[in-house]
């Protein structure tokens, strides 16, 4: 039997998914296209010599795992989760701006300090490896934008889960998924630990800066949209 509270949470989730649907869909697609265009362009047009990142002991301890590619690729689903939960246009735009800033900082570092992971010999089924590395090679290594967006997304999702009254286990699923993506960057040998540390710092600082200067706490989520759909709300 479904309790009232669970039903209410389901309706809240459905409302969030439907809200600003086309803006979130088209905006997300546009961001992805621009991101990959910039990423690949910088990767293939290095101006300065490429620095090989040093591998630490932990990098040598973690073996290549073909199964980790599923987690690695899951980032592109994971980063969409906060987007579909927005129901306030202003907050959604701020989220997009923060994501763009993280990307620009990463791209600027890649331009002036291009890096790559050390070459490794991988004895495994190369079909998945070849497909992904044709797009996301082992260049543009530090900071890992894969890790940066994993951390940035995890922090945003945790905020949404708390807003919506989600259970503690849902918060743990979010943490485990994010950490799994971070681990996958090492297990697929796309990055080394120093790349992951740099990416985690970039994603964390990006979230803190947005929270500090993005107007959080000064406006209530959904107030703009409620005012638009219910004129009486403007009097409250």
| Res 211 pLDDT > 90 | no
State yes or no: cis peptide before 207, omega within 30 of 0: no
Per-residue confidence at 127, pLDDT binned at 50, 70, 90? low
List for the chain the helix, strand, coil content (%; round to 5). 70, 5, 30
Per-residue pLDDT of 129-139, as tens digits, reads 666 666 556 67
Per-residue pLDDT of 55-95, as tens digits, reads 999 999 999 888 898 999 999 999 999 898 888 888 888 89
Q: Residues 6 or more apart from 183 whose CB is under 8 A from it?
A: 62, 68, 71
Q: What is the mean pLDDT of residues 187-192?
A: 92
The structure's pTM equals 0.81
- Structure confidence at residue 2 (pLDDT): 35
Counted residue by residue, the chain has a size of: 236
φ, ψ of residue 230 in degrees (nearest 5): -135, 95
């Amino acid at each position: 039997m479904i309790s009232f509270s669970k039903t209410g949470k389901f309706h809240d989730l459905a409302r969030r998914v439907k809200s600003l649907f086309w803006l979130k869909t088209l905006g997300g697609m546009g961001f992805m296209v621009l991101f990959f265009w910039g990423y690949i362009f910088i990767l293939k047009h290095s101006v300065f010599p490429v620095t090989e990142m040093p591998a630490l002991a932990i990098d040598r301890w973690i073996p290549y795992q073909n199964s980790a590619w599923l987690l690695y690729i899951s980032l592109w689903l994971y980063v969409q989760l906060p987007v579909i939960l927005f129901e306030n246009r202003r907050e959604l735009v701020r989220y997009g701006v923060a994501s763009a800033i993280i990307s620009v900082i990463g791209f600027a570092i890649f331009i002036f300090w291009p890096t790559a992971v050390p070459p490794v010999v991988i004895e495994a089924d190369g079909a998945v490896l070849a497909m992904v590395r044709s797009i996301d090679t082992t260049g543009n290594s530090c900071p890992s934008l894969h890790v940066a967006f994993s951390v940035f997304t995890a922090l945003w999702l945790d905020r949404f889960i708390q807003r919506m009254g989600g259970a503690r286990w849902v918060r743990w699923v979010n943490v485990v998924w994010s950490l799994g993506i971070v681990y996958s960057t090492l297990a697929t040998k796309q990055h080394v630990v120093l790349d992951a540390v740099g990416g985690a710092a970039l994603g964390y600082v990006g979230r803190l800066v947005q929270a500090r200067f993005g107007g959080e706490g000064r406006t209530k989520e959904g107030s703009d949209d409620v005012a638009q759909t219910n004129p009486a709300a403007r009097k409250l």
